[in-house]
Amino acid sequence: NAGVTQTPKFQVLKTGQSMTLQCAQDMNHNSMYWYRQDPGMGLRLIYYSASEGTTDKGEVPNGYNVSRLNKREFSLRLESAAPSQTSVYFCASSRESSPYGYTFGSGTRLTVV
């Protein structure tokens, strides 16, 4: 009963480095999402994937790319990290019109120095 699994849990990057955040869900959900959470800002949607094979931009997509590798996995890539991308990143999944809401992973705390 893993739910949504994110890796890594913590990461420190230097400005300009790249990295990929991994997310996998085992609930057979169609939709997956990447959010960032900053103090006082709530959660902001970066990208989402309504179904396997599709991805769309959210509120704050600049500086990020995503890949929906298959139904289970949705990765977030930072090509050239910037200090403004220091944040906590959450992956979530849902049935498209689920009455049960989203299931969130435990987050990745990323610091860019």
Partner 1 sequence: SQQGEEDPQALSIQEGENATMNCSYKTSINNLQWYRQNSGRGLVHLILIRSNEREKHSGRLRVTLDTSKKSSSLLITASRAADTASYFCATSGGSYIPTFGRGTSLIVHP
Binding site for partner 1 (CB under 8 A): 4, 33, 35, 40-45, 48, 58, 90, 92, 96-97, 99-107
Pick the closer one to partner 1 by CB: 17 or 98: 98
Residue 84 tokens read as: 């403004």
Pick the closer one to partner 1 by CB: 81 or 107: 107
Give the nearest distance from C-beta 70 to partner 1 in angstroms: 21
Contact of 48 with 60, CB cutoff 8 Å: no
Burial of 22 (C-beta count, 10 Å sphere; 0-12/13-18/19+): middle
Determine the Cα angle at 67 with ends 20 and 1, to 5°: 80
Pick the closer one to partner 1 by CB: 13 or 33: 33
What is the CB neighbour count within 10 angstroms for residue 59? 11
Give the nearest distance from C-beta 94 to partner 1 in angstroms: 8
Pick the closer one to partner 1 by CB: 43 or 69: 43
- Written as one letter, the residue type at 93 is S
Give the nearest distance from C-beta 30 to partner 1 in angstroms: 11
